[in-house]
Amino acid sequence: MLRHTVRRLSPTSCYLNPRVVEAEYAVRGLIPSRADEIKADLAAGRGRYLFDSLVYCNIGNPQSLGQMPLTFHRQVMALVDAPFLLGDAEIVARMPADAVARARGYLAEIGTGTGAYTESFGYRFARAAVAAYINDECRGVGPSVTVDDICLTDGASTGVKVLLQLLVGGASDAVMVPIPQYPLYTAQIALLGGTKVPYYLCEAEGWALQTPDLATAYERCVAESGATPRVLVCINPGNPTGNVLERSVMEDAVRFCHERGVLLLADEVYRENVYDARRQFVSFREVVLGMPAPYCTETMLVSLHSTSKGVIGECGRRGGYFCMTNLPRAMREQVLKLCSINLCANVNGQVMTALMCSPPREGDASYTLYRREYDGIFSGLKERAELLARELATVRGFSCQPVEGAMYAFPQITLPAAYAARNEELNSKEGRRLAVDTRWALELLESSGIVVVPGSGFGQERGTLHFRTTILPPLAQMKRMVRAIREFQEGIYRQYA
Amino acid sequence: MLRHTVRRLSPTSCYLNPRVVEAEYAVRGLIPSRADEIKADLAAGRGRYLFDSLVYCNIGNPQSLGQMPLTFHRQVMALVDAPFLLGDAEIVARMPADAVARARGYLAEIGTGTGAYTESFGYRFARAAVAAYINDECRGVGPSVTVDDICLTDGASTGVKVLLQLLVGGASDAVMVPIPQYPLYTAQIALLGGTKVPYYLCEAEGWALQTPDLATAYERCVAESGATPRVLVCINPGNPTGNVLERSVMEDAVRFCHERGVLLLADEVYRENVYDARRQFVSFREVVLGMPAPYCTETMLVSLHSTSKGVIGECGRRGGYFCMTNLPRAMREQVLKLCSINLCANVNGQVMTALMCSPPREGDASYTLYRREYDGIFSGLKERAELLARELATVRGFSCQPVEGAMYAFPQITLPAAYAARNEELNSKEGRRLAVDTRWALELLESSGIVVVPGSGFGQERGTLHFRTTILPPLAQMKRMVRAIREFQEGIYRQYA
């Protein structure tokens, strides 16, 4: 006889982990979902829209917007995927010698089993390529990275998840995140049931990190929630802000982390995406190692990188790595266990990560083509970054900080008070709680086909409104986007101001 | 002034999420770690061992042990990775027409951005291939699967993680797992802080699932822990047990889940690995849909599959999918959100999943080769499954159930009482708590180079001892393995009986 309560589920009510329900990820949230519906409508000839295609500016996904892959990287990957091609002299003769040699070299390391699980941290040869890349960058400052310090991941997202999981067991563990931030961080904190400690970037200073704010945020967290901050997240160059951190600020952040035993999680996936000639990317590892003891020997740092951004743009490959500096042995053992539960990162992402860290060099057969492709993509990104920030700043009610780096503009928008009031009315009529900037982004989408993400998805100072757009659409689409936003915003002012 | 306590970390003590510390994953745990140390010793000429190579039987990783990939699948993948190869008539002419046509077809769906993020659930064309494969199997029983019911994943492991995360928020949420089980399940439950509810498979009946045990385990969980079981995990064919479920047993399990509103998580990654001619794999979806209402219309089922096992053996590709049957809409929305936070499964795994579900057909240019490769791999697995179970059953103190399916044997071992007593002594001397079967596996490894996983890593009835070995090593290595185990076991009996 059953003594428990039988619990039937209706199609509309069911038990769900409340942490999952709470988590939010605006980059693929309400606005992009509505965009997909409209896209399906357009394809089926349904509905009445004033446009016949969408411009997706919601996600940093360059190849979906026409950016071409780097040829050398794809040649090598294809040969590693299908090693029997190397047995065909005719095919080999039609490939550049360095791509063939590289593929043979990788295959010699992998052996016959190119479809096998790798070690939990990834192929040793790929980790060696990453280590060489990092050591090269640090130019002899501090001790060298070894393969044991590197873990290959399915994109940087997996690295974030592993590191946050390692240190966040519940509400008593806090994570300090910049606001605005890439919403993966707050989503993972919500999923882990951890405490979020925001520190606000200063918009008026080009979204600079002001280090006294770190201590203030830490103190407030301890006093108000009783939770202990375990991790400080720094995104450099910033997403969505585009800010590039200065060395002195980074040193302050390192001191802050060291004094409090906080692990510094450095999200450096946009390390190659610096467009402002007055700025230079410096890695947190280089900063830490360049400081005197005990900072250089004790500050716990994990640096993340990815094949998704930069110039390579291989998002779908899900390649990436994290590099551990000064992590205690007990912590490393748990990192290894977590990675072993995941078995390993996908092998194509691993190969792509190795290639990203060791592209053709001057003198190699593929170098000229590689250089041309790389420079072409980079200068296109730079041009659009400048154009977009410049143009958006001239839209009524907008102010836009320069896009020093990364792949986004994050303009502030002001809207007539009547627009906000109307949003309240619509919300109560529709029975939902859209933020004003979400309403704005939704109406922009529905009237013009432009897909952006509202600032509330990234976090913003109370009382301010923003949106994030990528700099990725080709020039023609970008011009359409700016024009559409301008007209939309003018319309709002005509109607509500 | 700082009011908080400054917390310095020493290299040996640091804060860690206790759930992470608690989680265990024996497949890559102590024994394989020790094996890697020995491997490094052998490579460096360090240490004194009675063998000069290891036989890795700890993990189902066929291509690491010489299994060759399916040629057609790799040809298509390489062409999709490097689409410009299709622009070279000479290369096209050297590839089978169906591989070229398939690659062109996939590329037409993907567009230029083969390195872009896909939709959160994966490429639509790949999901369509999976849906067709599933619908074909169900032969018109019940409604068809659509692309919206399919989510492509980085291996089945990611599917398990998403589904358990969806329903397990803490200790009040329980998951019913078979014992012995694949330790991914208990590791994920530990990481989520959930409650594990074991139900024991009956070794004497060839590791059969005895359905009354489900109700007993459920009742005990509710009475003793107060937690509510949310998920029933069924692994079919069983890992590590090799048992293939019978339809009547599966129907009982479906009724059990339906009555209690429990989601049935069907791990069917070994669906192609059935060697016993008296057994046939039937999917849980087919069983559910073949039952009368309300079972067929209301039982919540998620079925998992992977490119890692079967005959394809593309573990490192991290390809796979889950298929949702009768999931309430609110649950599907949260599944989609969780997948969107992960962005998407890696594209090579997605392509490989599509290929697995739509291999060459009779009449296609590649069919003969595909058939020969497939049959060669399958008959090799079957032969080694039979040989291994037969041989291990004759080792002193061993009993071994037939390996009906999957890729493992899971023999029971009995050991002299003095061996167990010596383990206790060694444990107190070494300051650790090795289970008897872990000690046994460690000593087997150190004396012979054979790497197996102790039964305690999978769970077993109290008082019994087991180990898991894969059936994957080539015949010569397998013979060495059986001989080594036999000698090791004889030695133990000589010394301790």
Same domain, A230 and A156: yes
* Measured distance CA(B293)–CA(A314) in Å, rounded: 47
In chain B, the residue whose alpha carbon lies closest to the alpha carbon of A87 is: B94
Same domain, A222 and A96: no
In chain A, the residue whose alpha carbon lies closest to the alpha carbon of B215 is: A2
Q: Residue A9 domain-assigned?
A: no
For the stretch A184-187, contacts whose Cβ atoms lie closer than 8 Å and that sit 24 or more positions apart, written own/partner, are A184/A25, A184/A157, A184/A160, A184/B341, A185/A160, A185/A233, A186/A23, A186/A24, A186/A459, A187/A23, A187/A24, A187/A25, A187/B341
Q: Do B81 and A318 touch (CB under 8 A)?
A: no
Residue B165: which of A68, A191, A347 has the nearest Cβ?
Answer: A191
The residue-averaged pLDDT of B85-103 equals: 96
Same domain, A59 and A91: no
Q: Residue B206 domain-assigned?
A: yes
Taking contacts as CB-CB distances below 8 angstroms, the residues of chain B near A166 are: 16-17, 20
The answer for residues whose C-beta is within 8 angstroms of residue B80's C-beta and 6 or more apart is B103, B106, B107, B110, B114, B351
In chain A, the residue whose alpha carbon lies closest to the alpha carbon of B162 is: A20
Taking contacts as CB-CB distances below 8 angstroms, the residues of chain B near A68 are: 112
- How many domains is chain B built from? 3
Interface test with A, best of B8, B12, B17 (most A CBs within 10 A): B17
Same domain, B429 and B308: no
Q: Residue A370 domain-assigned?
A: no
Q: What is the pLDDT of residue B13?
A: 61
Task: Report the gap between the CA of A260 and the closest CA in chain B (Å).
Answer: 5
Task: Report the gap between the CA of B234 and the closest CA in chain A (Å).
Answer: 19
Distances (CA, A) of A260 to A232, A253, A283, B6, B12: 10, 11, 21, 5, 17
* Measured distance CA(A374)–CA(B437) in Å, rounded: 56
Task: Report the gap between the CA of B135 and the closest CA in chain A (Å).
Answer: 23
* Measured distance CA(A62)–CA(A59) in Å, rounded: 9
**What CATH number does the domain containing A108 carry?**
1.10.287
The residue-averaged pLDDT of B230-242 equals: 96
Residue A23: which of B66, B187, B337 has the nearest Cβ?
Answer: B337
- Orientation angle between helical segments B417-430 and B436-448, nearest 10 degrees: 90
Residue B3's pLDDT band (cuts 50, 70, 90) = very low
The answer for residues whose C-beta is within 8 angstroms of residue A407's C-beta and 6 or more apart is A60, A62, A239, A270, A273, A309, A381, A470, A471, A472
Q: Do A316 and B344 touch (CB under 8 A)?
A: yes
A74, with CB counted inside 10 A (0-12, 13-18, 19+), is: buried
Predicted confidence (pLDDT) at residue B39 exceeds the cutoff of 70: yes
Task: Report the gap between the CA of B493 and the closest CA in chain A (Å).
Answer: 35
A141, with CB counted inside 10 A (0-12, 13-18, 19+), is: middle
Predicted confidence (pLDDT) at residue A85 exceeds the cutoff of 70: yes
Same domain, A178 and A318: yes
Q: Do A115 and B81 touch (CB under 8 A)?
A: no
Task: Report the gap between the CA of B369 and the closest CA in chain A (Å).
Answer: 14
Interface test with B, best of A7, A14, A162, A297 (most B CBs within 10 A): A14
Interface test with B, best of A28, A191, A214 (most B CBs within 10 A): A28
Interface test with A, best of B125, B342, B355 (most A CBs within 10 A): B342
Same domain, B97 and B41: no
Q: In what order do the strands lie in the sheet with B150-152?
A: B150-152, B320-325, B301-306, B263-267, B228-235, B173-179, B195-200
Residue among A400, A158, A201 nearest A302 (CA): A158
* Measured distance CA(A374)–CA(A379) in Å, rounded: 9
Predicted confidence (pLDDT) at residue B1 exceeds the cutoff of 50: no
Containing domain of residue B492, as a range? 18-65+380-496
The residue-averaged pLDDT of A95-113 equals: 95
Q: What is the pLDDT of residue A89?
A: 94
**What CATH number does the domain containing A286 carry?**
3.40.640.10
Same domain, A111 and A134: no
The residue-averaged pLDDT of B306-329 equals: 96
For residue A161, the surrounding DSSP H or E stretch is helix A155-167
The residue out of B116, B146, B181 marking a domain boundary is B116
Q: Residue A8 domain-assigned?
A: no
Q: What is the pLDDT of residue A147?
A: 96
End-to-end Cα distance, chain A: 69
Preceding omega of A11 cis (within 30 degrees of 0) = no
> Which token pair is B435?
């289970």
Q: Please give the single-letter amino acid code of residue A468.
A: R
Same domain, A302 and A393: no
Q: Do B334 and A21 touch (CB under 8 A)?
A: yes
Q: Do B84 and A74 touch (CB under 8 A)?
A: yes
Taking contacts as CB-CB distances below 8 angstroms, the residues of chain B near A20 are: 165-166, 169, 334, 337-338
Q: Do A331 and B64 touch (CB under 8 A)?
A: no
Residue A90: which of B11, B94, B111 has the nearest Cβ?
Answer: B94
Q: Residue B445 domain-assigned?
A: yes
Q: Do B298 and A17 touch (CB under 8 A)?
A: no
Taking contacts as CB-CB distances below 8 angstroms, the residues of chain A near B94 are: 88, 90-91
Q: Count contacts between A and B (CB, < 8 Å).
A: 305
Taking contacts as CB-CB distances below 8 angstroms, the residues of chain A near B344 are: 316, 318
Q: Please give the single-letter amino acid code of residue B439.
A: R
Residue B185's pLDDT band (cuts 50, 70, 90) = very high
Q: What is the pLDDT of residue B29?
A: 82
The residue-averaged pLDDT of B360-386 equals: 96
Q: Do A348 and B155 touch (CB under 8 A)?
A: no
Predicted confidence (pLDDT) at residue B5 exceeds the cutoff of 80: no
Q: Do A94 and B91 touch (CB under 8 A)?
A: yes
The residue-averaged pLDDT of B348-365 equals: 98
Preceding omega of B180 cis (within 30 degrees of 0) = yes
Q: What is the pLDDT of residue B119?
A: 92
| B472 HSE (CA, 13 A, CB side) | 29
Q: What is the pLDDT of residue A2?
A: 39
Same domain, A61 and A75: no
Residue A13's pLDDT band (cuts 50, 70, 90) = low
pLDDT, tens digit (0-9, with 9 covering 90-100), for B288-300: 999 999 999 999 9
The residue out of A306, A326, A357 marking a domain boundary is A357
Residue B353's pLDDT band (cuts 50, 70, 90) = very high
Task: Report the gap between the CA of A326 and the closest CA in chain B (Å).
Answer: 8
The answer for residues whose C-beta is within 8 angstroms of residue B297's C-beta and 6 or more apart is B326
Q: Residue B13 domain-assigned?
A: no
Q: What is the pLDDT of residue A9?
A: 44
Q: Residue B221 domain-assigned?
A: yes
Residue A17's pLDDT band (cuts 50, 70, 90) = very high
Q: Do A317 and B2 touch (CB under 8 A)?
A: no
Question: What is the CA A418 to chain-centroid distance, rounded?
Answer: 35
Task: Report the gap between the CA of B211 and the closest CA in chain A (Å).
Answer: 15
Taking contacts as CB-CB distances below 8 angstroms, the residues of chain B near A12 are: 328-330
Q: What pTM did the predictor assign?
A: 0.94
Lowest mean pLDDT among A340-354, B136-150, B242-256: B136-150
User: Rg (Cα) of chain A, in Å, rounded?
Assistant: 24
Q: Do B318 and A154 touch (CB under 8 A)?
A: yes
In chain B, the residue whose alpha carbon lies closest to the alpha carbon of A294 is: B8
Predicted confidence (pLDDT) at residue A4 exceeds the cutoff of 50: no
In chain B, the residue whose alpha carbon lies closest to the alpha carbon of A13 is: B330
Question: Percent of chain B beyond pLDDT 90?
Answer: 91
Distances (CA, A) of B135 to B131, B138, B139, B490: 6, 5, 6, 52
Taking contacts as CB-CB distances below 8 angstroms, the residues of chain A near B78 are: 78-79, 81-82, 85
Taking contacts as CB-CB distances below 8 angstroms, the residues of chain B near A67 are: 113
The answer for residues whose C-beta is within 8 angstroms of residue A349's C-beta and 6 or more apart is A152, A153, A154, A155, A307, A317, A318, A319, A320, B346
* Measured distance CA(A33)–CA(A52) in Å, rounded: 18
Same domain, B269 and B410: no
* Measured distance CA(B347)–CA(B115) in Å, rounded: 7
* Measured distance CA(B391)–CA(B248) in Å, rounded: 31
Q: Do B82 and A74 touch (CB under 8 A)?
A: yes
What's the mean pLDDT when you consider all of chain B?
Answer: 93
> Which token pair is A331?
């912590």
Say what the alpha-carbon torsion angle A432, A434, A439, A440 is, to the nearest 10 degrees.
Answer: 170
Residue A75: which of B82, B313, B328 has the nearest Cβ?
Answer: B82
Predicted confidence (pLDDT) at residue A1 exceeds the cutoff of 50: no
Same domain, A316 and A341: yes
A205 DSSP 8-state letter: G
Q: Do B14 and A328 touch (CB under 8 A)?
A: yes
The residue-averaged pLDDT of B27-48 equals: 90
Q: Do A169 and B12 touch (CB under 8 A)?
A: no
Residue A316: which of B28, B165, B347 has the nearest Cβ?
Answer: B347
Indicate the SS3 state at residue A268. coil
> Which token pair is B349?
């795994």
**What CATH number does the domain containing B406 carry?**
3.90.1150.10
Q: Residue A2 domain-assigned?
A: no
Same domain, B98 and B136: no
Residue B328: which of A10, A298, A345 has the nearest Cβ?
Answer: A10
Task: Report the gap between the CA of A418 and the closest CA in chain B (Å).
Answer: 33
> Which token pair is B173?
């949420």
Q: What is the pLDDT of residue B6?
A: 42
* Measured distance CA(A200)–CA(A492) in Å, rounded: 29
pLDDT, tens digit (0-9, with 9 covering 90-100), for A210-249: 999 999 999 999 999 999 999 999 999 999 999 999 999 9
Q: What is the pLDDT of residue A3?
A: 40
Residue A328: which of B10, B78, B259 has the nearest Cβ?
Answer: B10
Q: What is the pLDDT of residue B112?
A: 80
Predicted confidence (pLDDT) at residue A8 exceeds the cutoff of 80: no
Q: What is the pLDDT of residue A5?
A: 42
Q: What is the pLDDT of residue B47?
A: 87
Query: Is the CB of residue B402 less than 8 Å from the CB of residue B206?
Result: yes
Q: What is the pLDDT of residue A14?
A: 86
User: Rg (Cα) of chain B, in Å, rounded?
Assistant: 24
